[in-house]
Amino acid sequence: MKHIIGFLVVLVATVLAPTAQAQSGYPARPIRLIVPLAPGGPSDILARSMAQQLTDLMKQTVIVDNRAGAGGVIGTDIAAKSPGDGYTMLLLAVATYSINAGRYAKLPYDPIKDLKPVSILAGAPYVLVTHPALPVRTLKELIALDKKRPGQLNYSSGGAGTGPHLATEVLKAATGMTAVHIAYKGAGPAMTDLMAGQVQFQLANMIASLPMVKNGRLRSIAVSGSKRSRALPDVPTIAESGVSGLDEVGGHMILVPGTTPQPIVARLHQELIKVLQQPDVKARLEGEGAEIFGMSPEQSAIVVRAEIERTGKIIKQLGLQAD
């Protein structure tokens, strides 16, 4: 999500006033929050935190429903085909959503028409992590080891078409690395196998990986983004390490079916902003290396469309189409 920061420079999060119709009687039953990836990844972690807070604010249970498969396409399609009544939401990375739009020649849903963003909530850089037993401590050393052992190193991701997958392929293209991609059904399982030494490295979202870095189960050697992370101030950026073109910030967003009335979208956005402004939520996200965005539906839609266009070009350049 290279250009999202540019949007945020001029962004003032707008809370749209819900109409009396949206306030009256809504919500009257539990709300489903679909996460199209396996438990344990950054999308799932953020979803469960948001769900609990929304439950308290909206006085109705918000249930996290993990629907993994096809790099997020299955769960996204379920959300897209759900009634637009405010009782189904979808939480996933902006990168996953936009990359899938470029990887597949034909999706079971229209990524522009069938779902509409409510808000891009927060984002965190990717951190390049390795198993502690791998004899590297810098990106330069990882590149050298890869070239010494061509095709023998493996890297994991939460699935083909996820932001970390594409970012790693960009890294490979820029450096000539030949590491083999091992796709998992979510960042959680990918992280588990990395810690077990089944794969050697991963570009992971910081929200999911920071605890393992801090307890020594993973080694961090570089971070994406245009500046160092406040959560890992001693870790250089990938650009500082000699590789340009990876200014990615992995943002996460909530969408609803495209037929959802605007007053309900506005109500949901209002409640999400309240959650993001709570001191404990803000402290937790910032402590995990994330930056809070809280973008309006209109600004979120602009960013999503721009990302679909940008990542589509990269996918074509790297030949990463799924079909």
Q: Beta-strand (E) ranges in 236-309? A: 249-257, 291-292
CA distance 225 to 230: 12
pTM score of the predicted model: 0.85
CA distance 91 to 64: 9
- Cα of 42 vs its chain's centroid, Å: 7
Residues 117 and 23 in one domain: yes
pLDDT (tens digit per residue) in 207-235: 889 999 999 999 999 999 889 999 999 99
Tell me whether residue 153 is in a domain.
yes
Residues 118 and 136 in one domain: no
Residues 116 and 36 in one domain: yes
pLDDT (tens digit per residue) in 109-146: 999 999 999 999 999 999 999 999 999 999 999 999 99
Q: Beta-strand (E) ranges in 232-283? A: 249-257
Tell me whether residue 228 is in a domain.
no
- Domain with 155, as residue range(s), is 125-223
| Total tally of structural domains belonging to the chain | 2
Instruction: Say if residues 36 and 90 touch (Cβ distance below 8 Å).
Output: yes
Residues 117 and 170 in one domain: no
Separation of first and last alpha carbons in the chain: 23
The CATH number of whichever domain residue 100 belongs to comes to 3.40.190.150
The CATH number of whichever domain residue 206 belongs to comes to 3.40.190.10
pLDDT (tens digit per residue) in 131-184: 999 999 999 999 999 999 999 999 999 888 889 999 999 999 999 999 999 998
Residues 95 and 15 in one domain: yes
β-strand pairing of 62-66 with 31-35: parallel
Residues 132 and 114 in one domain: no
